[in-house]
C-alpha cells in the first residue's frame, strides 16, 4: 500500500481542483466538504438542497467506478472502534471550530491565498504529522 | 440545473478523491508518516488541486457572477484567532489518528465498513455538538444585550 503513485495523484488532484472551480463558476459556492456536510446536518432552508445533491454526487462516484469495474478498495481502519469514534468526534468538532477542513482551507482557501486558510492548513498538517510520528515511532 | 450541477461537482470531486487514493486511510497515514516509509503522493494531489483551483478561481473572479446563481459567495472571514488554531489542532489530531478527513470519510461510507460508519456518525455528532456549544456560548451574551437594551 505504501507506494509512490504520482500519476494517479496528479489526475485525482486535477479532478478535485476542477470540481472546486466548477462549484464556484456554476453555483458560486466554495467546495468545503465539512461545511457542506455540517450545513446538511444543522441548518435548514434552501441551501440544504444543493448540499444534499453534492454529497449524493460524492457517494455516486465510487458506485459508478465499481459499476465500471474499478471497485473502491476496502478502507483500512484502526481495529479499536473507541479510537475510531474519538477520531470522528475530533474531526467533526475541530473542522467546525476552524470552519474548514482539507478541502475548504487546504484547497479552496489556500488557492485564494487566504492567510487564515494557510495557517489552518499548516496547523492541521503539522498536528496530524506529529500524531502519526508519536503513534508509529514513539508509542 | 442548479442541483444537477451540484451533483456533478460532487461526483467529479468524489472521482478525484478516489483516483488520488485519499479515500484509503492507509495511503493518507503513509503521507503523514514523514519519519517512516514516507509516501509523498498526497503532496502531489494537493499541489495539482491547488494550481487548478488557483487559475480556475481567477477565471471565476473575472467573470463576476456564477452561471447558475445571482452572486458568488466568496468567504469573507479573515480572522486568525484561537478558534481557528484550536479547531485545526483538534481536526489534525483526529485526522492523524484515523487517516480520514470529512470528504473521504463520507465517500468511504460506500464500502459499508462498520468502522467508517462509526467514524462518520461520530463526526456528525462532533459537528452537531459544536453547533450546540456555540449556541450556549452565544446565549448569555444575547441575554446581556437584551438586558442592557
pLDDT of residue B141: 62
In this predicted complex, what is the ipTM? Answer: 0.97
What Å distances lie between residue B37 and A121, A122, A129, B23, B45, CA to CA?
Answer: 23, 21, 13, 19, 18
**Ranges assigned E (strand) in A12-132:** none
* Helices and strands per DSSP (H, E), number in chain A: 6, 0
Cβ distance of B120 and A116 shorter than 8 Å = no
Could you report the per-residue pLDDT of B57-68, keeping only the tens digit for each? 999 999 989 999
Average pLDDT, chain A: 96
Which of A13, A132, A136 is facing B49, going by the closest CB pair? Answer: A13
In a domain, A96, yes or no: yes
pLDDT of residue B9: 98
Q: How large is the average pLDDT for residues B78-99?
A: 97
Which value, to the nearest 10 degrees, does the dihedral of the CA atoms of residues A78, A84, A90, A91 take? 70
Cβ neighbours of A2 in B, within 8 Å: 26, 30, 37, 39
Residues 6+ apart with CB under 8 A from A138: none
**Domain limits at A125?**
6-138
Could you report the per-residue pLDDT of B19-58, keeping only the tens digit for each? 999 999 999 999 999 999 999 999 999 999 999 999 999 9
Which of A41, A50, A107 is facing B128, going by the closest CB pair? Answer: A41
Burial status of residue A109 (CB atoms within 10 A of its CB: 0-12, 13-18, 19 or more): buried
Q: How confident is the model at residue B143 (pLDDT cuts 50, 70, 90)?
A: low
Q: How large is the average pLDDT for residues A35-62?
A: 94
pLDDT of residue A8: 97
Interatomic CA distance for residues A48 and A69, integer angstroms: 32
In a domain, A1, yes or no: no
What Å distances lie between residue B74 and A27, A100, B60, B65, B147, CA to CA?
Answer: 11, 14, 11, 11, 35
pLDDT at residue B139 greater than cutoff 90:
no
State how far residue A100 is from chain B, nearest Cα, in angstroms.
Answer: 8
Cβ distance of B8 and A131 shorter than 8 Å = no
Q: How large is the average pLDDT for residues B91-98?
A: 98
Packed helices A6-22 and B41-63: angle between N→C axes, nearest 10 degrees = 20
Cell numbers representing residue A107 in the block? 484547497
**SS in 3 state form for chain B?**
CHHHHHHHHHHHHHHHHHHHCCCCHHHHHHHHCCCCCCCCHHHHHHHHHHHHHHHHHHHHHHHCCCCCCCCCCCCCCCCCCHHHHHHHHHHHHHHHHHCCCHHHHHHHHHHCCHHHHHHHHHHHHHHHHHHHHHHHHHHHHHHHHHHHC
Q: How large is the average pLDDT for residues B122-126?
A: 98
Q: How large is the average pLDDT for residues B139-149?
A: 57
Q: How large is the average pLDDT for residues A76-98?
A: 97
Packed helices B25-32 and B82-98: angle between N→C axes, nearest 10 degrees = 120
Sign of the torsion angle spanned by Cα atoms A13, A17, A22, A28: positive
Cβ neighbours of A8 in B, within 8 Å: 19-21, 41
pLDDT of residue A42: 86
Chain B residues 49-78 with CB within 8 Å of chain A: 49-54, 56-57, 59-60, 63, 65-75, 77-78
Q: How large is the average pLDDT for residues B128-144?
A: 81
pLDDT at residue A44 greater than cutoff 80:
no
Cell numbers representing residue A122 in the block? 499548516
pLDDT of residue B145: 53
Interatomic CA distance for residues A134 and B13, integer angstroms: 32
Cβ distance of B66 and A27 shorter than 8 Å = yes
Cell numbers representing residue B14 in the block? 468524489
pLDDT of residue B142: 58
pLDDT at residue B70 greater than cutoff 70:
yes
Residues 6+ apart with CB under 8 A from A27: A50, B2, B5, B6, B9, B66, B68, B69
Number of domains, chain A: 1
Could you report the per-residue pLDDT of A14-27, keeping only the tens digit for each? 999 999 999 999 99
Q: How large is the average pLDDT for residues A89-93?
A: 98
Cell numbers representing residue A105 in the block? 482551507
In a domain, A14, yes or no: yes
DSSP state of A113: T
Residue identified by cell 487559475 is: B55
pLDDT of residue A2: 64
Amino acid at each position: 500500500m505504501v507506494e509512490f503513485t504520482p500519476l494517479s495523484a496528479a489526475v485525482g488532484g486535477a479532478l478535485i481542483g476542477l470540481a472546486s472551480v466548477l462549484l464556484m463558476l456554476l453555483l458560486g459556492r466554495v467546495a468545503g466538504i465539512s461545511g457542506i456536510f455540517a450545513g446538511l446536518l444543522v441548518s435548514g432552508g434552501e441551501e440544504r438542497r444543493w448540499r444534499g445533491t453534492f454529497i449524493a454526487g460524492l457517494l455516486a462516484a465510487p458506485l459508478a467506478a465499481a459499476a465500471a469495474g474499478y471497485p473502491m478498495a476496502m478502507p483500512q481502519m484502526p481495529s479499536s472502534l473507541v479510537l475510531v469514534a474519538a477520531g470522528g468526534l475530533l474531526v467533526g468538532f475541530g473542522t467546525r471550530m476552524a470552519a474548514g477542513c482539507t478541502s475548504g482551507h487546504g484547497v479552496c482557501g489556500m488557492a485564494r491565498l487566504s492567510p487564515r486558510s494557510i495557517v489552518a492548513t499548516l496547523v492541521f498538517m503539522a498536528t496530524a504529522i506529529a500524531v502519526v510520528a508519536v503513534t508509529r515511532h514513539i508509542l | 440545473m442548479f442541483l444537477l450541477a451540484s451533483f456533478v461537482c460532487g461526483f467529479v470531486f468524489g472521482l478525484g478523491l478516489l483516483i488520488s487514493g485519499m479515500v484509503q486511510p492507509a495511503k493518507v497515514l503513509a503521507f503523514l508518516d514523514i519519519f517512516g516509509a514516507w509516501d509523498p503522493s498526497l503532496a502531489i494531489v494537493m499541489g495539482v488541486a491547488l494550481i487548478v483551483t488557483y487559475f480556475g478561481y481567477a477565471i471565476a473572479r473575472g467573470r463576476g457572477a456564477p452561471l447558475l446563481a445571482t452572486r458568488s459567495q466568496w468567504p469573507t472571514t479573515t480572522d486568525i484567532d484561537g478558534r481557528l488554531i484550536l479547531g485545526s489542532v483538534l481536526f489534525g489530531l483526529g485526522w492523524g489518528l484515523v487517516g480520514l478527513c470529512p470528504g473521504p470519510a463520507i465517500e468511504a461510507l460506500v464500502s459499508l465498513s462498520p468502522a467508517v460508519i462509526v467514524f462518520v456518525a461520530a463526526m456528525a455528532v462532533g459537528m452537531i455538538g459544536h453547533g450546540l456549544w456555540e449556541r450556549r456560548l452565544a446565549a448569555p451574551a444575547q441575554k446581556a444585550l437584551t438586558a442592557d437594551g
